[in-house]
Structure 1
Amino acid sequence: MNKLIITLYLSLLCSIAQAQLPVPEYQKGKAILSGTIANYNPADNLMFKIGAPNIVMGSAETLFPTVEADGSFKIDIPLYHSTQIRIIIGNADFVILLSPEKETNVAINLSNPKGKQFIFNGQYATINNEWCQPELKTKIPPVYRDGDMLDSILGISANEFKKRCIDQYQQYIAHNNAQLQFSEDTRTLANLSCTFDCMENLYATRYCLQTAYQKKKNITWEQAVAAFADFDYPADFYDFLKILPVNHPLALYCYNYRNAISADLYELHHDPLMFEKYLLAKATLTQEEQTLIRQHEIAFKTGTAFQQGSELMALSVKYSKEDEQFRWELFSKAKERLSNIMQDSTCLIVDYLRAVYMRSSLYNLKPLTTLQETMASEITNPIFLGIIQDMNRQIQPRRKTITKEPNICKAPEVAEEELLDSLIARHKGKVQFIDFWATWCGGCRRMIKEYEPVKKELGEEVAFVYLTGPSSIEKTWKILIQDIPGEHYWLNEKQWGYLWKHFQMSGLPMYLVIDKQGNIAKRFIHVTRKELEEILKQEINK
């Protein structure tokens, strides 16, 4: 293993030594992407969307360029610094590098072979054109999505899985370094992109081994989680952070830099019940709430699906002070662990961990707490600090400038089991789209934005209804729905809890399409914008 690490380290040094790109700086502005699509036909309903990343939030804003009849388009993309954005058009899915206040132009011909479909002009034309060449390896696939890979890792140890990931990564780096037809900048960014994909796999070790076990045994997810309840990482597991270029000065150019931080926060043993145990110890819970937590613990240990997940999530809202203190202790310990691994408490990845701690407030449009401000004061990276300060500044002004009342609807005063039928009855004779979501659910909010063009096209023929529950802070909910046309319901605990159990939901979002007769025509957790449009049109035309 030591020989492997030395070889990998030397390889990385060779690949990054001559990079010419400047270190990215904080620069809030709008990048411009323009171009033309050859042989464009509006009737083809070509999928075309852009992901504009926010590195602090670990998410991307989804934008939909408007393409004219002649195939031309031009769109402003909000960025906080020079970085890669993600483009999905047709079957192509890739990233390109843009800068605020700079224009990049692209000629697109999707009928051409790979490597010739996109021709870029602009500030980073060389990098962007080379990035699209098939000889360059820019992405390591997630192990948990590869059935054959899952079969091959069944029963191996965490360190064996780690070695496989690093071996694969080393092969990708060696391959890219041999592609001398590409510039040093392009190879550097490609290697860094592979770094953060490799880290995603490494951080997902428990999940990958657990998924492989579930697949082999053909058991439920809950049963697999119970089987891995006592899974521990070896004491040296996170040592890979010492050899990967996680603090490379060009790292923040990468679209997938968000993979640099572990969801487990560098704990060797992850306890999914940690917050609930904290509440039992620190909060003055009702007897009913204590029973709820005990029931969840029993369900977890026995591998049984738990149907009261929404009620558990509501506890973090009710006991917000305990929740804040819990997260403070969690991140403080993680910062200490990561600082010890890196032997540097001021390096980029530790700064990023500090920045990630701000997400809970910024997601919910709440000013930073005193504890968050304390940790933010330790951040030295100007990009992280600039984004946090900018988002924090925007929160209060937005609250003050809201003048239009959202379409808030009062839930019918009926029994919980009659609620959905009563809601559906309001628009009987019309196709309906019902969205179960939460304000804290980043995926929910991204899909709402992605589906917005469908609403604009079919809004006269389809009723769009949004349901959320008590785990969404009501004040935050009222702010967010300002930008979401449709009917909005904030349901109480009993109403939301009943629907959660009735549909056996395990997470959000969840969607229903209701036909004109008031029946559930389709239920799903995700479809593309184009697929949703087709589903709704089919129901409209019946």
Structure 2
Amino acid sequence: MPDSGTASFKLHFPALPKSVKSFDFIESDCEDCFKIYGVSLQGDTPVSVPEDYRSAEIGKPEALPEPRIEGGNVTVVGKLLEYQPFYDLKPMFRIPELWRGSFAEHPVTVNEDGSFTATFEVASATQVALVIGTMNRMTMNLFVCPGDTLYAAVNLPELTRRNSHLRKDAPTLGQLCYFRGKMAAINNEMTTRFPTLPKMPEGQEFMLEIAGMSPTQYKAYCLEKERAIEEAVQSDATLSEACRTLYLNNIRLNCIDMLNMLQPMLAEALITRDKISWEDAYAKVRTNQPDVSYFDYLKTLPVLNDPQAIFSLSYPQNVLYSRYLPIDPSEGKTMFRRLLESGKVEAADVPVLEKYDAMQKENQKLDEEAARNLAQKYMEVLQEISNADRSFILDNIIKPNLSEGKGCYFDLLDVMTYAGKLQDFMPFTESDKEAVRNIRIPYFVNKLEEMNNQLLVTIEENKKKSGYTVNEVGEVSNEDLFYSMVSKFKGKVVLVDFWATWCGPCRMAMKQMLPMKEQLKDKDIIYLFIAGENSPKQTWENMIPDIHGEHYRVTGEQWNFLSQKFAIEGVPTYILLDKEGAIAQKYTGFPGVDTMKNRLLELCK
């Protein structure tokens, strides 16, 4: 592939019979292969819309409901128009979970005629995303309310056209989605009008415009673009008030997200314009830090603490990520200096930290591996520093700009804090339980108590589970450490997984490999998992019963030695050993199920 990222090629096929009206192009039968269905040789043909949707009367969009958090089930009765069973689209709904700051994924089972019924829980009236496809995911947002049923017929040809690189500007193939029932009007307007309204800038042109900007210039640029969109949308008399509110909240949250992503955005812009490395770009951006006044956009765009923000799909993650604003409370001190000032480093590491502190101030290139090992060693101290930074951000930036610490935003922050503890497999203490009972929204109290009770059940069930083995390293030198862990598995293929309990990609990869492990259960394969002390012991012990295989939890020193020995740049990292115990493959990051499975099968031969 050339540096431009664009290439052209031609495929030559035998001539098709004249009677053929359409054909499918399928590269191969794998999950991430090209599969282009229904290539018409007769031009575009009209989509057949069911009569009950064609005759449905869509009135004026109703007013938005009250933004109440009370919970309830939503049912979507749908149909994928022009669907064929072999498409294997694997549709799902992505549902915002306010109490976690994340999304739940609800798979959809599609019948042979394209019909489906999906029922799932939402915390409030909100937008949810219907995601269709695997390799090239196509998404459309729907507005749903607890206790209601929404009927929707999705125009697959039109959805595909809109997501096509070559045909997105071609004539429309009909309405994107046809609705009936309650909330039909507002969904009809959303899917029809939202794509036509102005959006915040993105893409390469945007990157070139912001390249080299200071924080003040970047902030002014983003706010100017947002104001222009606000004016255009506010003056559009054809929009209903309901859709105007939903769209503007989406835009305001998008703008806040862009402003919060100040440093990654400006670094990416320099990479785009100057073709430099990420390290060099970030070093340039880091020298121009914003001050506290930069963040007054939280007051200018007060959507984060607006109860109607719960109608937006991205709101939970906007709240969660707002805890990590791009400001340096240390006033320019390096990570190494802050470690030194903590008073919690070993005397032997002081000269190294002093050296790296001076080098980073001079923008000199560090020994990345050694720096990473120090970070691993002092992970708990760095976590304390991070917690102090988050408290500074909350007290000095967020509270002064958002109603002095009162409102829905702060309710959600409290809830997410306790949900995060449970997600780390740490049951509530008595003081936690008392604090949770004082949360003012009953729905959240019930959710957290349900999560805690389920975690306690899981922990008890885990004590009875088999299929996993906890191993002790014992008294062994660092040089013999890895050999001592894997030597007893000689004669078998070994997949070594370096991971951490707090690593989302690690856990996601384990989930994706579960079907693969079942398919290969008759092969001589050992799954060996290595975590370090930066994975809290209680969390680790409560997680591993669901991770079948051999488990080690090594000391910080041992983890640093293994990181150096195998050049581990991050987690997850995978090392595959052949039957003789020799390293046959290394992957930094998860390479995908197909790649992993095929390589394991090769080694089993």
Give the alignment partner of residue 207 of structure 2, picking from 145, 150, 168.
150
Q: Does 1:525 align with 2:589?
A: yes
Equivalent residue in structure 2 for 1:246, among 292, 296, 304: 304
SS of residue in 1 equivalent to 2:366: coil
Once the two structures are TM-superposed, the CA of residue 22 in structure 1 deviates from its matched residue by: 1.6
2:126 pairs, out of 73, 77, 83, with 83
Question: Are 2:506 and 1:444 equivalent residues in the alignment?
Answer: yes
For residues 30 and 95 of structure 1, the distance between their equivalents in structure 2, rounded to whole angstroms, comes to 17
Counterpart CA distance in 2 for 1:87 and 1:96 is 7
2:344 paired with 1:344: no
The alignment partner of 1:439 has SS state of coil
Contact in 1 for aligned 2:95/2:129 (Cα 8 Å): yes
Which structure's CA Rg is the greater one? Answer: 2
CA RMSD, 1 decimal: 4.4
1:111 partner SS: helix
AA aligned to 1:365 is F
Q: Once the two structures are superposed, what CA deviation does each residue of 1:23-82 show, in whole Å capped at 9, x if it has no partner? A: 13132x554455444555565543544433333432224444444555455555454444
Q: Does 1:221 align with 2:278?
A: yes
Contact 1:65/1:73 (<8 A) preserved = yes
SS of 1:162 mapped into structure 2: helix
CA distance in 1, matches of 2:579, 2:76: 41
| 8 A Cα contact 2:512 2:593, kept in partner | no
Distance 1:240 1:196 in 2: 11
Question: Are the aligned partners of 1:299 and 1:305 in contact in 2 as well (CA < 8 Å)?
Answer: no
| 1:200 shift after superposition | 0.9
Among candidates 131, 134, 153, match of residue 190 of structure 2: 131
Shift of 1:189: 1.7
State how 1:450-465 maps to structure 2 within 5 Å: 450=512, 452-455=514-517
Query: CA contact under 8 A between 1:159 and 1:234: conserved in structure 2?
Result: no
Q: Distance in 2 between matches of 1:172 and 1:406?
A: 56
Which letter does structure 1 place at the counterpart of 2:299?
K
CA deviations 1:478-525 (Å, max 9, x no partner) are: 322344445544344345334434554444344567789976557353
Distance in 1 (alpha carbons) for counterparts of 2:519 and 2:109? 13
How far apart are the structure 2 equivalents of 1:131 and 1:489? 51
Q: Output the CA distance in 1 between the equivalents of 2:425 and 2:553.
A: 17
CA distance in 2, matches of 1:75, 1:131: 20
Q: Is the 8 A contact 1:235 1:268 kept in 2?
A: no
Is 1:193 aligned with 2:250?
A: yes
The 8 Å contact of residues 266 and 338 in structure 1, kept in 2 or not, is answered as no
Determine if contact 2:194/2:247 at 8 Å carries over to the other structure.
no
Query: What is the deviation of 1:147?
Result: 3.3
SS at match of 1:132: helix
**Partners in 2 of 1:454 and 1:101 — Cα distance?**
38
Deviations 1:230-287 (A, max 9, x none): 3221443112112213322211122211224534447465669777656544554432
Q: 1:524 to 1:506 in 2, by over 3 A?
A: closer
Identity %: 22
Question: 1:265 and 1:221 mapped to 2: Cα distance?
Answer: 20
Asked if 1 retains the 8 angstrom alpha-carbon contact of 2:73 and 2:121, the reply is yes
Which of 279, 282, 294 is the aligned partner of 1:237? Answer: 294
In structure 2, the residue matched to 1:405 is 466
Deviations 1:449-468 (A, max 9, x none): 45545555565567655443
Q: Does the 8 Å CA contact 1:223/1:304 hold for their aligned counterparts?
A: no
The alignment partner of 2:369 has SS state of coil
> CA separation in 2, counterparts of 1:167 and 1:229?
24
**Distance verdict in 2 for CA 1:409–1:377, change over 3 Å:** closer
Q: Name the SS for the 2:587 alignment partner.
A: strand
Contact 1:335-1:350 within 8 A present in 2 as well = no
Aligned residue number for residue 92 of structure 1: 138
For 2:541, the equivalent position in structure 1 comes to 478
Q: Single out whichever of 55-64 and 380-389 deviates more from structure 2.
A: 380-389
Cα–Cα, structure 1 residues 223 and 119, in superposed 2: closer, same or farther, change >3 Å? same
Match of 1:22 in 2: 66
Q: Could you tell me which residue of structure 1 aligns to residue 224 of structure 2?
A: 167
Answer whether contact 1:265 1:334 (CA < 8 A) is retained: no
Change (3 A) 1:524 1:460: farther
Distance 1:123 1:512 in 2: 54
For residue 445 of structure 1, give the secondary structure of its aligned residue in structure 2: helix
The amino acid of 1:233's aligned partner reads: P
The secondary structure found in structure 2 opposite 1:167 is helix
Contact 2:270–2:281 at 8 Å: present in 1 too? yes
Moved more, 248-257 or 406-415: 406-415
Match of 2:4 in 1: none
Residue number in structure 1 paired with 2:13: none
1:187-219 per-position Cα deviation (integer Å, ceiling 9, x unaligned): 322221221111110011122223333444444
Q: Offset of 1:83 from its aligned partner? A: 3.3
1:110 maps to 156
Q: In the TM superposition, what are the counterparts of 1:507-522 in structure 2 within 5 Å?
A: 507-511=570-574, 520=584
- Corresponding residue of 2:318: 259
Query: Counterparts of 2:196 and 2:586 in 1: how far apart (Å)?
Result: 39
Distance in 1 between residues matched to 2:510 and 2:499, nearest whole Å: 9
1:4 — aligned with what?
A: none
Aligned residue pairs total: 515
Cα–Cα, structure 1 residues 58 and 515, in superposed 2: closer, same or farther, change >3 Å? farther
Mapped partners of 1:276, 1:371: distance in 2? 35
Give the aligned residue type for 2:94. Answer: G
How many angstroms apart in 1 are the aligned matches of 2:391 and 2:410?
A: 11
Measure, in 2, the Cα distance between the counterparts of 1:377 and 1:291. Answer: 49
CA distance in 2, matches of 1:377, 1:293: 45
* Residues 99-137 of structure 1: per-residue CA shift (max 9 Å, x gap): 556554543442234474544556544444443336536
Deviation at 1:405, TM superposition (A): 3.4
Letter in 1 for 2:507: R
Look up the SS of the partner of 2:542 in the other structure.
helix
Q: After superposition, what is the alpha-carbon deviation per residue over 1:146-171, rounded to whole angstroms, capped at 9, x for unaligned?
A: 33322221222212111221222234
Which amino acid is the alignment partner of residue 225 of structure 1? Y
Asked whether the equivalents of residues 264 and 270 of structure 1 are also in contact (C-alpha less than 8 Å), the reply is: no
Matched, 1:206 2:252: no
Contact 1:222–1:303 (CA<8 Å) still a contact in 2? no
**TM-score using structure 1 length:** 0.76
Is the Cα–Cα contact under 8 Å of residues 80 and 387 in structure 1 kept in the other structure? Answer: no
Deviation at 1:346, TM superposition (A): 0.7
Does the aligned pair in 1 maintain the 2:334–2:357 contact within 8 Å? no
Give, as a single letter, the amino acid of the residue that structure 2 aligns with 1:306: E
**In 2: Cα distance, 1:451 partner to 1:107 partner:** 34
Residue of structure 2 in register with 1:3 after alignment = none
Which SS does the other structure have where 1:405 is aligned?
Answer: coil
Give the 3 Å change call, closer, same or farther, for CA 218–364 of structure 1 in structure 2: same
Query: Closer, same or farther in 2 for the Cα pair 1:151/1:266, shift >3 Å?
Result: closer
Displacement of 1:326 after TM fit? 6.5
Q: Note if contact 1:247-1:349 (Cα within 8 Å) is conserved in structure 2.
A: yes
TM-score scaled to structure 2, two decimals?
A: 0.69
In structure 2, what residue type is equivalent to 1:200? Answer: D
Partner of 1:46: 89
Separation (CA, whole Å) in 1 of partners of 2:477 and 2:147: 54
CA distance, structure 2, for counterparts of residue 171 and residue 267 of structure 1: 27
**Cα displacement string for residues 282-333 of structure 1 (whole angstroms, at most 9, x for unaligned residues):** 554432454665465456443425225355245344x6xx956962674265
Aligned CA distance change for structure 1 residues 53 and 343 (closer, same or farther; 3 Å): closer
Structure 1 unmatched runs, 5+: 1-17
Cα distance change, pair 177–155 in 1 and its aligned pair in 2 (3 A): same
